[in-house]
A and B are shown apart, each in its own frame.
Chain A
């Protein structure tokens, strides 16, 4: 296997994707919504009335215990950690979940739609190189954007509650948050890409591939619901376990993809 060939496919896919206005629009709007607008909207209540905000959700002492909040943190910081773990972090997972789907849905379905599939299959590359190229084309840009969004998100949160920080730093010091951004997010993206590439290879066109792949994002909603009912769900151990589970699923879908993705079907199913 030659990695160079996969990189060539990746570069070409990326070039064709960025020249498509709809993909470019979605890739710029999504990060703004989930990294800037939603967090600002959610944290405004804390800035206005920190004590009132935390009391709205229950007994402050119990909540501090449930969210594992250090005792030296004031109400504003405690409230911010609650909001981050309950909503901001699960919603952030939409970025590594949704962004790659937009590109990977186009991977094979787009080639079929544009009638370029056959000329790609006639290149001197094997199936594994082709699939890897398609996966990288979605993974590399979306994970770079995810990391950038994650860091931006942390900065925005810290800047918003700067009057209450008292020498503390939020977001970047919590292991469960860091694990979510730098470990869970990449594997979450890889799993979604792998499934979406398989869907794309079976779909007739990009739109149907995108609409089917869109369902992949529903587990994020599950995490939000679990987190609401079980505030202690997001911790370093559970995130590590979740990452392990996702990576195992990813490996299974790599195997499944290699079995299901048949170049013969890619040109005869058009």
Chain B
């Protein structure tokens, strides 16, 4: 009987795994991309530049996935490989259960929308002409109507007949986004969507991305803007020198990186004289540090130990002003990972 139950559980696990694979709309398996620099003449120079060094990741339907990394980490190369514009040297890329190959990448691109790092608008064409050109490749039933709708969404409808070169930087970016969403693709790729934009325009773009998520679209964002990624992404991968250093939910990445959690307790009054001894006796606390009237507690699980600490401090007549748990921001995680790389 036990054997049958185990067998059933095992099969259920397999089905579950299969379902997970089915659900993933973007899948990269051990993807590498090498560039050769022919200008380097000396034999001792390493002419190979590994833009991607065997990266694997999966993005599920409806998810906003962020690829985070410094300039030159390989983020744009990853998007170009997914689009089929660059041929990976190793590995395979699957979009919606269809492998991206150079022969039919253009067919796959029909369901994808790309916002490139350079906006890519034709400056001497009008906004309408720009969208009309891009839209014509997607066999939209009512292109003119659709152009009006996206221009309205982007707040550019009044400038429809203006040349794209006359727009401000933020407006140019909005036109590029209009182009990206014009054919209502299921999967969207945004390469540095807020680069060079002022804070107000950045917020606008971020809200727009969140709006697209609510339409159940899958979004892949390349960025080195930590704040942006933290605010909009469900999961992130941190990429450095072509390799993925960490992948997961922003909130989970911190747990993996820091062995102990930190809780900060601020007291209103000077510390009691015997407090040091009391704190040492708290064997559920891994270590602690006192800085004037602030005590830093370190533990494997601060949520579990905080009530015990508070109870003990109250018993010792300590006047607690504030208790807070340190939550590692994506910035902390990123800087720690980049620091590891340098070491």
CA distance A120 to B118 in the complex (A): 12
Within 8 A of B (CB), among A104-153: 114-116, 118-126
Q: Is the CB–CB distance between A19 and B124 below 8 Å? A: yes
CA distance A11 to B130 in the complex (A): 12
Question: Which residues does chain B contribute within 8 Å of A122, judged by CB atoms?
Answer: 83, 85, 109, 114, 116
Question: Which residues does chain A contribute within 8 Å of B116, judged by CB atoms?
Answer: 118-119, 122
In the assembled complex, the CB of B85 is this many whole angstroms from the nearest CB of chain A, namely 5
How many B residues, CB 8 Å from partner? 26
CA distance A174 to B129 in the complex (A): 46
Q: Is the CB–CB distance between A16 and B121 below 8 Å? A: no
Q: Is the CB–CB distance between B106 and A119 below 8 Å? A: no
Stretch from A40-48, A49-57, A218-226, A262-270 contacting the other chain: A262-270
CA distance A191 to B37 in the complex (A): 32
Selected contact of B137 from candidates A19, A20, A123, A268, CB within 8 Å: A123
How many A residues, CB 8 Å from partner? 24
CA distance A20 to B122 in the complex (A): 12
In the assembled complex, the CB of A124 is this many whole angstroms from the nearest CB of chain B, namely 4
Question: Which residues does chain A contribute within 8 Å of B155, judged by CB atoms?
Answer: none
In the assembled complex, the CB of B115 is this many whole angstroms from the nearest CB of chain A, namely 9
A115-B120, A116-B120, A122-B85 known; A267+B137 contact, CB < 8 A: no
CA distance A263 to B87 in the complex (A): 10
Q: Is the CB–CB distance between A16 and B134 below 8 Å? A: no
CA distance A120 to B85 in the complex (A): 11
Q: Is the CB–CB distance between A118 and B120 below 8 Å? A: yes
Residue of A5, A16, A116, A119 ringed by the most chain B CB atoms within 10 A: A119
Q: 20 A-B pairs, CB-CB below 8 angstroms?
A: A12-B122, A12-B125, A15-B129, A16-B125, A20-B124, A115-B118, A115-B120, A118-B80, A118-B85, A118-B116, A119-B116, A119-B179, A120-B120, A122-B116, A123-B134, A124-B107, A124-B109, A124-B137, A263-B85, A268-B86
Give the A-binding residues of B (Cβ under 8 A). Answer: 35, 80, 83, 85-87, 106-107, 109-110, 114, 116, 118, 120-125, 129, 133-134, 136-138, 179
